[in-house]
Amino acid sequence: MSKVVYISHDGTRHELDVSDGVSLMQAAVSNGIYDIVGDCGGSASCATCHVYVDEAFCDRLLAPTEREAGMLECAAAEVKPNSRLCCQIVMSPTLDGLVVEIPDRQW
Amino acid sequence: MKAYEKVVIIGTGQAGVEVAFGLRANGWQGEITLIGESADIPHHLPPLSKAYLAGTATAESLYLRTPEAYQAQNIHLLSGIRVDAINREAAQVQLADGQALSYDRLVLATGGRPRTMPADCGPLAEADNFCYLRTLSDAERIRLQLVPGNRMVVIGSGYIGLEVAASAIKTGMQVTLLTIADRVLDRVTAPLVSSFYERLHRAAGVDIEVNTQIAGFEMSADQQHVRAVVCADGRRLDADLVVAGIGLVPNCELASAAGLQVDDGIIVNELMQTSDPAIMALGDCARFHSSIYNRWVRIESVPNALEQARKIAAILCGKTYRSEAAPWFWSDQYDIGLKMVGLSDGYERIVIRGSMEQPDFSVFYLKNNRALAVDTVNRPVEFNLSKQMVTDQLLIDPALLADESVPLKEIIAAARAEPNYA
C-alpha cells in the first residue's frame, strides 16, 4: 500500500492509498476520481487516463511501451514529455508518494 | 432542471453507475438513488467471459467502484431489490419490498438479458450444466465446470460464444462451437475477418461447426442435466457443459408497462428522454436515432453506455455534452485484441491495411468513400484515428487508404483539408 496524490486540473487534490500491483487508473476510477476515465478498461487502447507525472518520479517508472507511446499521440489534451497513460503505471513501493497531475480533458 | 431534484436510476450496470457518479462529478446536489435487482456489488461485465473464466480476475477486481465510493459520493445504492412498476402519475417507482420511491427524474438503465433457446429445444432452465452468460453468478457457474478434458459445447458465434470458447480451451476443455450462421461474427464483420477468427480458434483446438442448427438436447432422466446436444442434421454431441451465447434481449418490460414507447429498446430522443420527458433511458436497453447513420439503432456496448451516461449527467446538470460519437466495441480472444468502431451494415467495399498473418491490420468498411466502420487488430493508433474518421464521416480516397506507406493521420488530415474531395 503506497500513497498517490492526484491533482485535478482545477487544483483539487485526491490522496489515495493504492495497493501494490494495482494500476493508477484502476485506483482512481474505483475511488470516483472522475477526470480519469479509463474507457478501455486498462489495455492502453483509449488514451483517456492521461496524466502528467511529477518530474521527480519519471525515472522510477518503466519507460512507455511502443503501444503506450503511440496511444499518447491520440490523447485529447496537450502531450508533454512527462505524459503517461496511468493504466500502465502499476503501484509498487518505490512509487510511494507519487504525484500526478490530471489534464483538463481526456476525450 | 434544478440540482436539488431527486434522481432515481434503475439498473446497476455500467450505465446506471456511470450516471450516478457522473451527476456528482457535474455538481448535482440532489438525492441520487441507484436501484439494482442484482445483490452483487456493481461490477464490470466484459471480464466475465475472459479473465474471470480464466480464473485470473477476482470478483473484487471487477467492481466498478469501491463499495465505499458510493457512500463518499452520497449515492444511495439499493442492491438486490426489484422494481415492480413505474407509476408515472405519482412520479414514483414501486419496489418489490413494498416501498415507493419518489423521483423528479427517472433514469432507466435496465440493460438486457441473454436470449434463450427456443422453447421447442426442451426444458433447460433446470439443467445444472446448461448456462447463459450475463451475470457474475452465470460466470461462476461456468467457471466451476471448466474441467480439463471435459467436453464443452458452445452455441453461438458472436463475441460471447467466441470469448467463452477461447477461455475454455485454455483451461484444457474439449470445445466445439456450433453456429447457425455460415461464419463466425457474421453480423458484425466482413468474411475475411470471420475467417481470421475461425483460423485462430481452430489453431487453438476449437472445433467450429458452421451452418449448424440445434434440434434439441438429450437430457438425463430427471431433466437436471444435459447429456448431449442434438443437431438438426442428426449429429449428436456429448456434452459435460453447454453455454449458449445467442444474443441479448433488452429489458424494456418496466417501460412498456408504464406506457413508454418501446420498439426493441426504449425509444429515446436526442436528449435521452423517453416518450415521458421526466424519464430517460440509456445503454443496452435504449434505442435512439443515430445522426451518423441516419437510422434508429440500439447499441450493445460498454463504451456506448458510458458515453450516454455522461451525456445524461451533463444534460441533467445543465452542462454541454459532446455530440454523437461513433460507437465502439472490443473483444479479446487469446492474445488478440479486436477493436471496432462504427456499424458496418450496408458497406460496399472493404480496404485492408497491414497483414492478417502478423496479425497487425485494420479493415475499413466503406460506402461512398466514407468509412462506416473500422475493425483493427494490434493497431491502437489507427483505431483511435478511425474513431474520428467514422464519427466525422470523412471522405477518404480508397487508393490512399490501401497504401500502407501513407500514415492514416495524413490521410485524415488531407480529408479534413479538402472536405469536398470526390
Judged by CB atoms within 8 Å, which residues 19-38 of B form the interface with A? 21-22, 24-25
B196 touches B359 (CB < 8 A)? yes
Are A45 and B73 an interchain contact pair (Cβ–Cβ within 8 Å)? Answer: no
If one compares A76 and B205, the residue with the highest pLDDT of the two is B205
Per the CB < 8 Å rule, is B65 touching A32? yes
Tens of pLDDT, residues B339-365? 999 999 999 999 999 999 999 999 999
Strands B248-250 and B112-114, bridge-based pairing? antiparallel
Which of A30, A44, A71 has the CB atom closest to B66's CB atom?
A: A30
Summarize chain B as % helix, strand, coil (round to 5). 25, 30, 45
B317: left (phi over 0), alpha (psi -120 to 50) or beta: alpha
Position B422 pLDDT exceeds 50: no
Q: How confident is the model over B130-134, as a mean pLDDT?
A: 96
Q: Lowest-confidence range among A42-51, B163-172, B181-190?
A: A42-51
Mean pLDDT value across residues B103-131: 94
d(CA B313, CA B277) in angstroms, rounded, equals 15
Q: Does B69 touch chain A (CB under 8 A)?
A: yes
Average pLDDT in the B182-198 region?
96
Residue B420: Cβ-neighbour burial (10 angstroms; 0-12, 13-18, 19+): exposed
**CB atoms < 10 A from the CB of B300, how many?**
19
| B106 in Cβ contact with B126 (< 8 Å) | no
Task: Find the residue in A nearest to B20 (Cα).
Answer: A32
* Residue B306 distance to chain A (closest CA, Å): 8
Residue among B77, B76, B111 nearest B255 (CA): B111
Cα-based distances in Å from B3 to A3, B32, B318? 34, 11, 9
pLDDT given for residue B2 in this prediction:
61
In the numeric block, the cell 471487477 is attached to: B62
pLDDT of B95 higher than 50: yes
Q: How far, in Å, are B94, B232, B259 from residue B252 at the CA level?
A: 16, 32, 11
Task: Verify whether the Cβ–Cβ distance A45 to B65 is below 8 Å.
Answer: no
Average pLDDT over every residue of B4-24: 95
pLDDT greater than 80 at residue B4: no
Q: Is the peptide bond before B359 cis (omega within 30 degrees of 0)?
A: yes
Look at residues B9, B254, B250 and name the one whose alpha carbon lies nearest to residue B109. Answer: B9
Residues B235 and B229: beta-carbon distance below 8 Å: no
Strand pairing category for A13-18 and B174-178: unpaired
Q: What is the distance between the alpha carbons of residues B42 and B18, in angstroms, rounded to a whole number?
A: 11
- Residue at grid coordinates 507511446: A69
Ramachandran category for residue B274: left, alpha or beta (phi over 0 → left; psi -120 to 50 → alpha): beta
Is it the case that residue B302 has pLDDT exceeding 80?
A: yes
Chain A to chain B, count of Cβ pairs less than 8 Å apart? 52
Query: Residue B114 and residue B244: Cα distance in Å, rounded?
Result: 9
Integer Cα distance of B204 and B176 in angstroms: 12
Give the model's pLDDT for residue B227. 97
C-beta atoms of A71 and B384 within 8 A: yes
Quote the DSSP letter at residue B190.
-
Q: Judge whether residue B1 has pLDDT over 60.
A: no
Position B158 pLDDT exceeds 70: yes
Q: How far apart are CA B105 and CA B33, in angstroms?
A: 11
Which residue in chain B is spatially nearest to A67 when comparing CA positions? B380
Q: In what helix (H) or strand (E) does residue B313 lie, and over which residues does it extend?
A: helix B302-316
Residue B20 near residue B32 (C-beta atoms within 8 A): yes
State whether residue B92 sits within 8 Å of chain A by CB. no
Strand segments (E) across B51-206? 75-79, 83-87, 92-95, 100-102, 105-108, 112-114, 130-131, 151-155, 174-178
Q: What is the mean pLDDT of residues B366-374?
A: 97
Tell me the pairing of strands B32-36 and B75-79: parallel
User: Is B102 at the interface with chain A, CB within 8 A?
Assistant: no
Contacts of B189 (CB under 8 A, 6+ apart): B197, B340, B344, B363, B375
Report the residue of chain B nearest A75, measured CA to CA. B384
In this predicted structure, the answer to whether residue B421 has a pLDDT above a threshold of 80 is no
- B332 contacts in chain A (CB < 8 Å): 43
Mind telling me how many Å the CA of B302 is from chain A's nearest CA?
8
Note the pTM of the prediction, 2 decimals: 0.94
The C-alpha of B275 sits at a distance from chain A's nearest C-alpha, in angstroms, of 30
- pLDDT averaged over every residue in chain B: 94
pLDDT > 50? residue A3: yes
Q: What is the mean pLDDT of residues B73-96?
A: 97
Distance of CA A107 to the CA centre of its chain: 15
Residues of A in contact with B330 (CB under 8 A): 40, 43, 45
**Cα distance between residue A7 and residue B54, in whole Å:** 36
Q: Are A47 and B25 a contacting pair at CB < 8 A?
A: no
Confidence of residue A1 (pLDDT cuts 50, 70, 90): confident
Distance from CA of A86 to the nearest CA of B (A): 16
Q: How far is B55 from chain A (nearest CA, A)?
A: 17
pLDDT band, very low/low/confident/very high, at B31 (cuts 50, 70, 90): very high
Give the nearest chain B residue to A76 (CA atoms). Answer: B384
b/e for B226-250, b at 16 or more Cβ within 10 A? bbbbbbeeeeebebbbbbbbbebeb
pLDDT tens digits, one per residue of B248-284 = 999 999 999 999 999 999 999 999 999 999 999 999 9
Whole-number Å distance between alpha carbons of B392 and B127 = 49
Closest by Cα among A4, A68, A45, A23 to B61: A23
Interface of A with B (CB under 8 A): 29-32, 34-35, 39-41, 43-47, 67, 70-71, 73-74, 107
**How far off is chain A from B188, nearest CA to CA, in Å?**
20
Minimum CA–CA partner of A30 in chain B: B65
Query: B303 to chain A: which residues are within 8 Å by CB?
Result: 39
Q: Which residues of B touch A46 (CB under 8 A)?
A: 384
Confidence tier at B112 by pLDDT (50, 70, 90): very high
